[in-house]
Amino acid sequence: MSHKLHEHRKSYQKGMLTKDQAAADPVAQFGLWFEQVTQASGIEEVNAMTLSTVDQQGYPRGRVVLLKHFDVRGFQFFTNYASQKGLAIAANPQVSLSFFWPNLERQVHIKGKAEKLSQEESQAYFAVRPKGSQIGAMASPQSQVVESRAFLEQTLSRLEQQYQSDPVPKPDNWGGYLVKPIEFEFWQGRENRLHDRLRYTAVNDKWTIERLAP
C-alpha cells in the first residue's frame, strides 16, 4: 500500500517573529506565546509537549507529556520514576521539549537538563490531583509488562476500595522533574516556507538571540 502525501500542503500566514519583536528572555517569550495560544481557539491541551530522551541502548524516544508549571527555573512535568522516560533520564538527563501549536502555526523547541523535583514539591502537586489520578499512579507499574487489562482494572478497583475514605499517599517512585533550559528555538510559520526561527542560547548566564535559516 502506498500513501502519496505530496498534495498535503498549506501556506503559513498567521504571524511573524523578528528579533525586534522577541523578548530578551526566552521564558518571557514562551509565556507570551503560551498565553496567545491559550486565548486562541483550536488547541485543547496547550500544555502538551513532546519529551525526547535517549535510552540506555542509545535510541531516542519521544512521547507527549503535560507541562505542569514553568518559571525562570525551568519546565516541570510529573511521571513514574521507574517508567521508560524515568530510567532514560536517570542514565542521561539531557533532554528536549517540543511544543507544536498549529492554530497559530508555531513551534517551540527547548534543550536542557532534567533533574528531580524535591519530594516536597512532588507531594504538593500530587495532593491537588484528582483522586482517580492519584490512585491510577499507584495502580500502574508504568512501562512494565502486565498480563492483561483486567489486572490493571482489578488493581485499580482494589485501591479505590482501600482508599475510599482515606487520602491517597504519593508513591515513592512517582514525582516531578524540572528541565533547566540551555537553549530555546521559536519557530513561526511564514509564506513560501521562509519561516522565522529564533534561537536563544545561554552564554555566561545571559541569553543571546540568533536568527536561523528556515
138 lies in some domain: no
**pLDDT tens track of the chain, all 214 residues?**
667 666 666 667 678 899 999 999 999 999 999 999 999 978 889 999 999 999 989 999 999 999 999 999 999 999 999 999 999 999 999 999 999 999 999 999 999 999 999 999 999 999 999 999 999 998 888 888 888 899 888 998 999 999 999 999 999 999 999 999 999 999 999 988 889 999 999 988 899 999 999 9
Q: Which three cell numbers, joined as nine digits, stand for 131? A: 483522586
The CATH number for 199's domain is 2.30.110.10
**Phi/psi of residue 56, each to 5°?**
-65, -20
104 lies in some domain: yes
Q: Is 193 a catalytic residue?
A: yes
44 lies in some domain: yes
3 lies in some domain: no
Range of 55's domain? 26-129+173-211
At what angle are helices 149-162 and 131-139 packed, to 10 degrees? 130
CB 108 within 8 A of CB 201: no
Distance CA 174, CA 116 (A): 10
Alpha carbon 119 to its chain centroid, in Å, reads 20
14 lies in some domain: no
Q: Which three cell numbers, joined as nine digits, stand for 63? A: 512521547
103 lies in some domain: yes
124 lies in some domain: yes
166 lies in some domain: no
Q: How many domains in the chain?
A: 1
Q: Which three cell numbers, joined as nine digits, stand for 66? A: 503535560
Distance CA 185, CA 109 (A): 5
Dihedral, CA of residue 51, residue 52, residue 54 and residue 55, to nearest 10:
50
CA distance to 8, 80, 152, 161, 195, per residue, from 137 (Å)? 40, 8, 11, 15, 41
> Quick one: pLDDT at residue 59?
95
The active-site residue, picked from 63, 193, 197, 199, is 193
